[in-house]
Amino acid sequence: MDSREKETLSVAEQAAEWLLIMETPTDRERAAFWKWLSASPLHVREVLLAAKTRQRLRAFDASHQLELETLIASARSHISQIGEPAVPPSRTRRMRWAYAAAACLAVLMVAAASYLTISDARHTYSTELGQQLVLELDDGSVVYLNTDSRMKVRFSDQARDVYLNAGQALFEVKHDRSRPFRVHTATSIVEAVGTQFDVRVVGNRTLVSVVEGVVRVLKPQMDAVTVDMPAPRLAAGEVASVDADGQFERKSKVDVAAIAAWKQQRLIFNEETLGWIADEFNRYNAAPRLKVEGDALRSRRFNGVFNAHSPESLVEYLQQDPSLEFERKEGEIVIRAVTSASVEQP
Amino acid sequence: MESRKRTFIPIAVLALALIQSTSGEPAAAAAPVEYHIASQPLAQALNAWAQQSGLQLIWPAVDDVARTRSRALYGRYQPMQALTLLLQDSGLRYSVLKEGTVTLSDSSADGPTAVPVNGSRR
């Protein structure tokens, strides 16, 4: 076996071990797993490869309502049938059956994906709050669908059309000159041939960020466009916003690494308001919801990086400020200034 | 013959439910990290540091400081060692909250939990 094969094998081993650990992870292990997963495309690919192979087995009925807890429980029972005692595994190397466990979990993940996303034959995919989805389209392009998003895919011989009805998605587009790849939202069409870019629907605006290559941003009525039609172009690191009136606004250059950070469930803030930051956490977490009261407080700006699932870390930081008070209600943390003037009456 | 309707195959779900709510990062790991941070506005450089370290970071946006040009940082450093280098001459110092979140403050102001950074100021 050549060295490249060896390298792949060792990543496969790691993938298997991680899936095993992620059955009953500690907070530290969860964080470490996601860090590992996002460290290299090879890591993701390894998981995808296993999933793809096993998918052909069709061992699971996609129409069943598969709860994640059930899936994990089922994975455990499968593992014990393979010959492992039913006690929780220690964190030592058990490669032989770790492979089986990984494959098994991969199948379960695919089954869950099917249930979550294949709601009809028109290729509609959606995610619930706090979920993300990675899918490979039949042209080899890869789509990362972020939390609380809805997307429809329609490919033809002339074009590859994707309709992002809600939420956010990152596209790694396979090059195909004969079939432009277009992402449609209510306010714009983003067209690429082969590149990597992010589209997000925020209220009635569309935000487009380019990681790699160039995209053209077209208006919806320009659907039947030709290649030479004039349209604003965005290059790597550029971000633009298109509002409901079709108003195109180019923003300053951003760090390319920051655009795709949500794939690692990381939130990156560059001079963002506390109101926006709280809303970002709320995109990923059903509880606790963060509610920032008062315009003055909502418009305070911060820089920083958080795990999307650690709203409590933001609260912990803000609690250092003696001028703020915090009220914990059912599934919600209200943050407001202490001064009596800014306390809103119920 | 089997229907071939399902041409778009979702090949994996990274189910976030698996990670649910984590209670912050583990305390700043001491293991060295390979950093690739270009010279750029300081706020972006510090965000890159946090990303590459796998740590959480927050600090109030202070225009003139956030937009100063950072130094470039390439190579293996322990996270806090790298942060110290990036903060050199910025007038900022770091402290670490209980759950491991790193926060920055003006080094001329008194912070109750501030950790002095050796050699960051001259």
Nearest 5°: CA angle at A108, between A105 and A110?
115
Across all residues in chain A, what is the average pLDDT? 76
Beta pairing, strands B102-106 & B57-60: parallel
How much is the pLDDT for B121?
Answer: 37
- What is the tens place of the pLDDT at every residue in A282-297? 999 999 999 999 999 9
- What is the tens place of the pLDDT at every residue in A65-79? 334 444 444 444 433
How much is the pLDDT for A31?
Answer: 73
Measure the CA–CA gap between A106 and A177, rounded to whole angstroms: 34
A304 contacts on B by Cβ (under 8 Å): 47, 50, 56-59
State the pLDDT confidence band at A23, using cuts at 50, 70 and 90. low
- Percent share of chain B, pLDDT over 70: 63
How much is the pLDDT for A300?
Answer: 96
Measure the CA–CA gap between B86 and B92, rounded to whole angstroms: 10
Whether residue B12 and residue A109 make contact (CB cut-off 8 A), yes or no, is yes
Whether A37 contacts chain B with CB within 8 A: yes
Beta pairing, strands A248-250 & A266-273: unpaired
Q: Would you tell me which residues 35-64 of chain B have a C-beta closer than 8 angstroms to some C-beta of chain A?
A: 40, 43-44, 46-48, 50-51, 54-61, 63
CATH class of the domain at B33-106: alpha beta
State the pLDDT confidence band at B94, using cuts at 50, 70 and 90. very high
Mean predicted confidence (pLDDT) in A97-117? 46
- What is the tens place of the pLDDT at every residue in A309-334? 999 999 999 999 999 999 999 999 99
Q: Domain locations in chain B?
A: 33-106
B51 contacts on A by Cβ (under 8 Å): 257-258, 261, 266, 268, 305
The pLDDT of residue A5 is above 60: no
Overall pTM surpassing 0.90 (yes/no): no
Top pLDDT among A223 and A171 is at A171
- Domains, in order of start, for chain A: 3-117 (no CATH), 124-257 (2.60.120.1440), 265-342 (3.55.50.30)
Top pLDDT among A72 and A143 is at A143
Task: Note the ipTM here.
Answer: 0.72
Burial of B103 (0-12, 13-18, 19+ CB in 10 A): buried
How much is the pLDDT for A258?
Answer: 85
- What is the tens place of the pLDDT at every residue in B32-86? 999 999 999 999 999 999 999 999 999 998 768 888 899 999 999 999 999 999 9
